[in-house]
Structure 1
Amino acid sequence: MHYYGKYRRSALAGIFGMFNAILAKWVKLRFKKLKRNWNKAFAWLIKVARQHSKLFFHWEWGYFGTGRI
């Protein structure tokens, strides 16, 4: 992580985006009100990421949604 983060940070954005998509899919399965809407699932995930940025390593670096925020 630290090697690619130091020299090719842009290469990690795709991996982090896929990881966030997997998390959004879990959110859709977990919460009934977010079941049918990807945008609401991603919005919920970004809200949690900003409140608790230490839950996942890529959130500490600022990769919340589909890109770096």
Structure 2
Amino acid sequence: MKTKDAISYFGNKCSLARALKLSKSAISQWPENVPELRAYQIERLTNGLLTAVPQLTHSDNTA
């Protein structure tokens, strides 16, 4: 899950931080991808609209 997608879903960093009971600065320190355990937490909060493990597409499964 991309950090920008999680922020976009919740509207802004403050709202995402509030939903996860974190500080806004904690969210600001995340790299491009949401840390794994937080991604699963976000997946639960969004009822699966954002997924921790993206679905593989045919092009992702090529050698």
Give the TM-score range, shorter chain: 0.3 to 0.5
Q: Give TM-score, length-normalised by structure 1.
A: 0.32
* Higher relative contact order, structure no. (Cα contacts within 8 Å, ≥ 6 residues apart): 2
**Greater fraction of residues in helix:** 1
Q: Give TM-score, length-normalised by structure 2.
A: 0.33
